[in-house]
Chains A and B, each alone.
Chain A
Amino acid sequence: MTTLGKRSTIGRSDLWHRIATSLRACGDQILVLVVLVAIWQVLSMTLGSYWVGSPWGVATRFVAGIGDGTLLHQASYTVIEAAAGFVLGALPAVALPFALRRLPIATAILDPFMVGGYGAPKLALAPLFILWFGIGIESKIVLVAVTVFFIVYFSAQAGIRALDAGLVRMAQVMGATERHVARHIVFPGAVPYVFAGLRLAMPYAIGGAIIAELISANRGLGYLIQLGAMNFDTTGIFVALVATICIVFIVNWSVNAVERRLLRWRPVSDVTLQAGT
């Protein structure tokens, strides 16, 4: 009864509170942005725009690049590589721990190899993948997939290991079969962990695609960075970096939105509450 009362009164004031805090956070964020741009401007003026492209120059080139479509065109390659690699790496990374759930011996056998794969510097593999798969889109996708796979694999596995045995026993007493347990208990329980892994892997996916492009490519944001460096065009490099950051922002925002929708059942964590104030 008390909970009902609390909920109905919270409704509106809670909404206002959230709008107010998010506005305040937004204002603070703009302040930090202004400070960062100011530092950038100072660096550009003291070192010369030859070494550090000026914020204004970067902004004009950025807008022009979007206007004539070249930037979006190059960025689309990077995004496609990252997205394809992400899916290719994340799907088996989620499926494998589920498949291995009832096979502790197989898990134990695989474990050292997985730890090794997780620890190996994937970026150092980029030249190898380029040798194997060529300078086209394939080598980038493979690099991203390998990077994403190990991050998501360990998160998904942690989610399955965190399974509450009490919930499983309860379900079995009620007549749940192994399939019911997997579908109604193991999977939803692991979703928050899988999402944590996906969120962590996302910037690595975009970073991995760009690094592979840096080493050898004729298109993509990494190629733009490489081109800028070769032509001593620091502004060009900064434009590509800003574009990268924008992509990470957009993707991160989408992951958050999907996560919020899927994890409505979770109590708002203390951390989130503190972040709001």
Chain B
Amino acid sequence: MEEPLLEIRGLAKRFGKRSGRELAPWIIQDLTFSVSEGEFLTVIGPSGAGKTTLLNIIAQIDVASGGEVRFQSQSAPIDDLKALQPGLACRIGYVTQDDHLLPWRTTLQNVLFPLTVQGRLNAETRTRAEMLIRTVGLGGFENHYPHELSGGMRKRAALIRTLVYNPPVILMDEPFGALDAQTRTQLQEDLLRLWNLGKKTIIFVTHDIAEAIALGDRTLVLSRQPSHVAGKHAITIPRPRDVRGIMTHPEFGALYQRIRAQLQ
């Protein structure tokens, strides 16, 4: 069997102790799972289960306290902040919970930002950026500043800012969490369409069971803190999926019940 793209074994994390206090509690303990190339993995867990911390560790903007994190057979540093390599040389893209658009850059400038810093801004990549902007319905808003965009538009801009430089893996941390149901469904459809175009590896964190089922090939359920894997579910609902009608699919009900039971 070929080696998985990302392998996490016995991962443990706790934050540094503060003076005058005993050791901080474990956030993550003995967490083990792997992700294969091209897979859409959804991760669900109660709040405080260390979902964001997990993504931060994978993206190498935070260190693990123990265990092993291997990406393309390369181990991430353990407990050594200075050895971190954020984004692993642009191989891992990260769409955070907050959009983190640069407020002094327009939509287009924000989308072009990664290309600018990677020195890859040319006619071809620029065309791709403009194409992506139109694909997610931001055409006409290229020269608007983030504060002039709605919440949903900002999320879309943040999403395509990561897609534009084509990282093989994308981490997404509840990217649609704060949106209304209508916009959220729209963005979920956009995401699935974009994923179908490029078949990237996506790790998508959510607290919404229906979203986890609608999007993923597989759903990982995390336990309460200290978190470990409480269950794995293959989502066999065939693609292309109808995000709006996913609840009426015959397999949905049973899956939903099983996942919810593990979330308790």
Interfacial residues, chain A to chain B (CB-CB below 8 A): 2-4, 7, 164, 166-167, 169-177, 180, 184-185, 188-189, 191, 264-267
Q: Contact check, A174 vs B87: say whether CB atoms are below 8 A apart.
A: yes
B118: Cβ under 8 A from any A Cβ: yes
Interface residues of B in 93-110 (CB under 8 A from A): 93-94, 96, 98, 100, 102-106
Given contacts A173-B59, A265-B105, contact A2 B86 (CB under 8 A): no
Q: Which residue of B lies closest to A264 (CB)?
A: B145
- B100–A174 contact, CB under 8 A? no
Closest Cβ neighbor of A176 among chain B residues: B117
- In the complex, 27 of the A-B residue pairs with CB atoms within 8 angstroms, ordered by the A residue number, are A2-B150, A3-B141, A3-B148, A3-B149, A166-B96, A167-B100, A167-B102, A169-B61, A170-B96, A173-B59, A173-B86, A173-B94, A174-B87, A174-B113, A174-B162, A174-B165, A175-B165, A180-B117, A184-B113, A184-B116, A184-B117, A188-B104, A191-B104, A265-B104, A265-B106, A265-B147, A266-B103
Q: Enumerate chain B residues within 8 angstroms of A266, measured Cβ to Cβ.
A: 103, 147
* Cβ-based interface call for B16 (8 A): no
Closest to A3 in B: B150
User: Between A and B, how many residue pairs show CB distances below 8 Å?
Assistant: 73
In the bound complex, what is the Cα–Cα distance between A88 and B118 (angstroms)? Answer: 36
Chain B residues within an 8 Å CB radius of A176: 117
The distance in angstroms between the C-alpha atoms of A7 and B106, with both chains bound, is 16
> Whose C-beta in chain A lies nearest to the C-beta of B100?
A170
Are A174 and B61 within 8 A (Cβ)?
no
- The answer to whether B90 and A175 have CB atoms under 8 Å apart is yes
Asked whether A172 and B150 contact (CB < 8 A) given A4-B140, A184-B102, A188-B102, the answer is no
User: Chain B residues in contact with chain A, CB under 8 A?
Assistant: 59, 61, 86-87, 89-90, 92-94, 96, 98, 100, 102-106, 113-114, 116-118, 140-141, 144-145, 147-150, 153, 161-162, 165
Instruction: Return chain A residues, CB-CB under 8 Å to B153.
Output: 3
With both beta carbons as reference points, the residue of chain B lying nearest to A189 in the complex is identified as B104
Rounded to whole Å, the gap between the CB of B103 and the closest CB of chain A is 6
CB distance from B161 to the nearest CB of A (A): 8
C-alpha gap A4/B144 in the complex (Å): 10
Q: Which residues of A contact B114 (CB under 8 A)?
A: 174-175
CB closest residue in chain B, given A170: B100
CB-based contact B118/A175 at 8 Å: yes
- In the complex, the answer to whether B86 meets A169 with C-beta atoms within 8 Å is yes
- Assess A175 versus B117: contact at CB under 8 Å? Given A170-B94, A264-B145, A267-B147: yes
Closest to A177 in B: B117
* Residues in B neighbouring A264, C-beta threshold 8 A: 145
- Kindly report which residue of chain A lies nearest to residue B165, judged by CB atoms: A174
**B189 CB to nearest A CB, Å:** 16
A135 to B48, CA, bound (A): 68
A173 touches B87 (CB 8 A): yes
